[in-house]
Amino acid sequence: MKFPAAQVAQMINGQTDGDASVTVSSFGKIEEAKEGQLTFFANPKYEEFLYSTKASVIIINEAYELKQPIHATLIRVPDAYTAFATLLSKYQEIAQQQLTGIQEPSYISPSASYGEHVFIGAFAYLGDQVKVGNNTKIFPNAYIGNNVTIGDNCIIHPGVKIYHDCKLGNNITIHAGTVIGSDGFGFAPQADGSFKKVPQIGNVVIEDYVEIGANATIDRATIGSTLIKKGAKLDNLIQIAHNVEVGYSTVIAAQAGVSGSTKIGNGVMIGGQAGIVGHIQLGDGAKVNAQSGVSKSIEPGKAVTGSPAYDYTSALRSQAVSRRLPELEKRVKELEALVKQLLEEKV
């Protein structure tokens, strides 16, 4: 697909600066782009490549003033990075709209139903009473269990497993290998030292505009629902335990784990490899630094770090002090020697 610069500018509400008729057919990084490709410039670290790139079209902040002439056509926008992300989304949407139909072999239960313009890839499985909305794409080797509902404009990538009774809203993306609705980790200790499994009879509910990375696991609730609210973004390799609630527009980075029944507020940011115990609350806007171990509830807007995690600013001060410990130890010994000397002189 080829697009003239003028059409690209229209897609992202930008203004062309240069030849608006020049066409592009693919994307490239600013330092590697070739003729016929589109790139963007937002990070000042890449300024040198702005004047050397061979890209035909560059998306750039409208406030940026050129320091020397360039050959490329510019598309000026308020925020180049956001505009480029929007353009990629539109490009992906156009490509996916062309992907429709039912590939064989695949299994679709006679009681399952699906909307218009769907794609169901080879070796996919749709169980009894499954409902799939319009324009949803289910890629090969996906498993959709009984009574699962998937809304409109969703993308279920290869190898995703969605267990029975789970409910997905609209505009959701789930990447390859992720498991939705596996059993929560519930075992009751017995007098003889063994553990009796507690049946997990709830489900997982995922609201609109959620994206979940590859090889993540979201456990079904013991009773009720594990809930991922609208706009949340979960990275790869994340564990969300039973009955957890993840708030609106919360982001969680890779390899983080959230234990059962914890409630995470709206707009929370959780760094990679963070671990969060069960039955606590993270207030709206809280921030958890990477590799932190959170053992108690966090107030709204508070940032924490460390294991066990505590106030971020205090932690930085402690780290600054700890780096000076050898020097402080030396000074303490010197003071001890001086006090000893003074005491001896007094005697």
Q: What is the pTM of this model?
A: 0.80
Phi, psi of 323 (to 5 degrees): -70, -20
pLDDT tens-digit profile of 53-100?
999 999 999 999 999 999 999 999 999 999 999 999 888 777 777 789
pLDDT value, residue 342: 86
Question: Average model confidence (pLDDT) for the chain?
Answer: 94
Q: How far apart are CA 138 and CA 126, in angstroms?
A: 10
Long-range Cβ contact pairs of 195-203 (< 8 A, separation 24 or more):
198/222, 200/242, 202/226, 202/242, 202/243, 203/164, 203/165, 203/166, 203/167
pLDDT value, residue 90: 84
pLDDT value, residue 231: 98
pLDDT value, residue 347: 67
CATH fold for domain 101-313: UDP N-Acetylglucosamine Acyltransferase; domain 1 (2.160.10)
**What are the DSSP calls for 267-313, one per residue?**
T-EE-TT-EE-SS-EE-TT-EE-TT-EE-S-B-TT-EEETTTTEEHH
What does each C-alpha distance from 25 to 34, 72, 82, 274, 306 come to in angstroms? 11, 15, 20, 41, 47
Q: How far apart are CA 214 and CA 235, in angstroms?
A: 7
pLDDT tens-digit profile of 41-56?
999 999 999 999 999 9
Instruction: Pick out the chain residues at pLDDT < 50.
Output: none
CATH number attached to the domain at 3-92: 3.40.1390.10
The residues with which 40 forms a beta bridge, in sequence order, are: 59
pLDDT value, residue 230: 98
Residue 157 appears among annotated catalytic residues: no
Contacts of 265 (CB under 8 A, 6+ apart): 247, 250, 281, 282, 283, 284, 285, 286, 300
Selecting among 71, 117, 175, 242, the annotated active-site residue is 242
Q: Where are the domains of the chain?
A: 3-92, 101-313
